[in-house]
Chains A and B, each alone.
Chain A
Amino acid sequence: GDSVTQMEGPVTLSEEAFLTINCTYTATGYPSLFWYVQYPGEGLQLLLKATKADDKGSNKGFEATYRKETTSFHLEKGSVQVSDSAVYFCALNRDDKIIFGKGTRLHILP
């Protein structure tokens, strides 16, 4: 069945460092791909999405490109801030449901 695999955390970086969180997927067809972010004690917020191959989603300085050839959707940010500390979920849609990865916890040190 369809699945999403993302790098295990926690990931700890210093402020202003470059961020990459890897995400790969297994799916038939061409699902939409998402990154969600969850701040402590809160629900998930949609961070960005891409709906077809080679699309780049971007928001708040974060970017991810839908790579069909490598079945990947890696999340990147050029300069992280302490406020980016959260759990990040990669996900794909399948029919009327969304399949989530297990999440990657990110800690940013001042």
Chain B
Amino acid sequence: DGGITQSPKYLFRKEGQNVTLSCEQNLNHDAMYWYRQDPGQGLRLIYYSQIVNDFQKGDIAEGYSVSREKKESFPLTVTSAQKNPTAFYLCASRGLAGGRNEQFFGPGTRLTVL
């Protein structure tokens, strides 16, 4: 079955440590996205990538970094510079062919920084 996987589902880290969240898709989608979700604030865009080896900052990129070395993978690193990293992180992808513009989401990773 095609889809988007995020791992792990729950992640705990100590303050000051960098942590990398995984996102993999087998939908052959060109574009991938990372969002952060906090209670009552909806989704906020962190980074997105339209093509391999290229990505753009979203609305809240500070304290985060990404890479896009393969079409299927778009890992997100939450660095120690992110002041309030505890949140639910969602990865999404979108196929650019055929005029379709909806995004498909993974199950999310809940990060808790202790």
Contacts and interface: CB of A to CB of B under 8 A. Distances in A.
Interface of A: 32, 34, 36, 41-46, 49, 89, 93, 96-98, 100-103
Interface stretch (B11-19, B43-51, B60-68, B71-79): B43-51
Report, as a range, how many residues of chain B touch the other chain: 20 to 34
A49 B90 contact: no
A-B pairs, 6 with minimum CB distance = A43-B105, A102-B42, A44-B105, A93-B101, A100-B43, A43-B107
Contact of A89 (B4, B42, B92): B42
B41 interface: yes
Interface of B: 4, 6, 31, 33, 40-43, 45, 48, 50, 58, 90, 92, 94, 101-108
B104 A100 contact: no
A89 B6 CA distance: 21
Contacts, number: 46
A49 B103 CA distance: 11
24 contacts: A32-B101, A32-B102, A34-B102, A36-B105, A42-B108, A43-B4, A43-B6, A43-B90, A44-B105, A46-B102, A49-B102, A89-B42, A89-B43, A93-B102, A96-B48, A96-B50, A96-B94, A97-B48, A98-B101, A98-B102, A100-B43, A101-B42, A102-B40, A103-B42
B108 A43 contact: yes
Contacts of B58: 97
B24 to A, nearest CB: 14
Contact of A43 (B40, B41, B106): B106
